[in-house]
Amino acid sequence: MEIYKLIPHDTKINFIGNRRYTYVISIIVTLISIFTFAFHGLNFGIDFRGGFVMEIRTQQEVDLGTLREKLTKLDIGEVYLQEFGSKNDVLIRIPDSGDKNSQNVSLEKVKATLGDNIEYRKIEKIGPKIGSELVHDATLAVIISLMAILLYIWIRFEWQFAICGVIALAHDCIVLMGLYSVCHYFEFNVNSIVALLMTACYSIHDTVVVFDRIREDMMAYRNLTVAELLNKSINETLSRTVLTSLTTVLSLFALCFFGGKVIFDFCFPILFGLMFGTFSSICLSAPLLLFTGIVVDGKSVAIGLDKV
């Protein structure tokens, strides 16, 4: 069975000793994400900046791939297609160009491309007010999620673990937002909020696994220093973390490269966030306990940072 072990059980990588390098990487990536978000902004999709929504019914079944290819050639921005109800019903969303005349021209281009024998069941405009409300609600959802996670870890472990876990979690969310800010190829829409929350959930799950092993080792190895204890716990969970992340990464790679553009735009940010979430669980959340200390038998235990 040894051949199936990707990571040896007795691995002794000095994560705590190399924490300064991982801190530098995290700080640099976080600062780049914050600055690009502040000065470059996000490429908001129709969900946030508004546009037109068309519900159509065709006489024959619609090939979404062919129709999407035709509408993309119109150069009117990212057009979203979605089946609803029967295969003859299609929902088309056209992004707002910012110019009323251009918007009307885009609408006429779409109608001309669709051709005759099309039943337009609904054509309505999504205003920017709805987009601003969605931004507010999405931001509120992420903040509430972070606070709930903070409370959960605080109750299950100690406040030291909660603070370190949320710092690592905020790091992952900021880095993922940086991806959307740096690469305007990816539109920031409702799917982006899903990707953000999925990254947060996956990251905190890995972090809790590491924290749980730290708590177990605290009771079993009383003679170890905090640095030795953290290193031991991270290495013991390393195989599980790597294997879990690897299987998820392989699945996301398949979706990214064989699922088409729409699936790629959704899955690649999740893949990116997952990799940084795994990094933060191993190299950020646990080493940060050196700053907050940990609790053994109700007493806070800290360690001099110059000793590790």
pLDDT of residue 32: 92
Query: What is the pLDDT at residue 130?
Result: 55
At 234-256, the pLDDT tens digits run: 888 888 888 888 888 888 888 88
Alpha-carbon gap, residue 247 to 17, rounded angstroms: 29
Query: What is the per-residue pLDDT for 298?
Result: 47
CB 210, CB 233: distance < 8 Å:
yes
* Same structural domain, 144 and 37: yes
Compute how many other C-beta atoms are within 10 angstroms of the C-beta atom of residue 41: 12
DSSP strand pairing (118-126 vs 86-95): unpaired
Residues 119, 191, single domain; the answer is no
Q: Which residues pair with 138 in a beta bridge?
A: none
Please check whether residue 222 is in contact with residue 78, taking contact to mean a CB–CB distance below 8 angstroms.
no
Do residues 196 and 223 both lie within one domain? Answer: yes
Instruction: Say yes or no: 13 and 78 in one domain.
Output: no
CA dist list (Å): 36 to 154, 175, 177, 181, 302? 33, 11, 9, 6, 36
115 is in which domain, residue-wise?
51-126
CATH number for the domain spanning 79: value is: 3.30.70.3400
Buried b (16+ CB within 10 A) or exposed e, 175-191: bbbbbbbeeeebbbbeb
Low-confidence ranges of the chain (pLDDT < 50): 1, 3, 297-308
The Cα–Cα gap between 115 and 229 comes to 69
Contact 134/48 with Cβ under 8 angstroms?
yes
What pLDDT, on the 0 to 100 scale, is given for residue 129?
Answer: 52
Whether residue 290 sits in one domain with residue 153: yes
Q: Give per-residue pLDDT as tens, 78-123.
A: 777 777 766 777 777 777 665 566 667 777 777 777 777 777 777 7
CA distance 41 to 201: 25
Per-residue pLDDT at 31: 93
Domain end (from 78, 111, 126)? 126
Question: pTM (2 decimals)?
Answer: 0.75
Residues 135 and 121 placed together within one structural domain of the fold:
no
Residues counted in the chain: 308
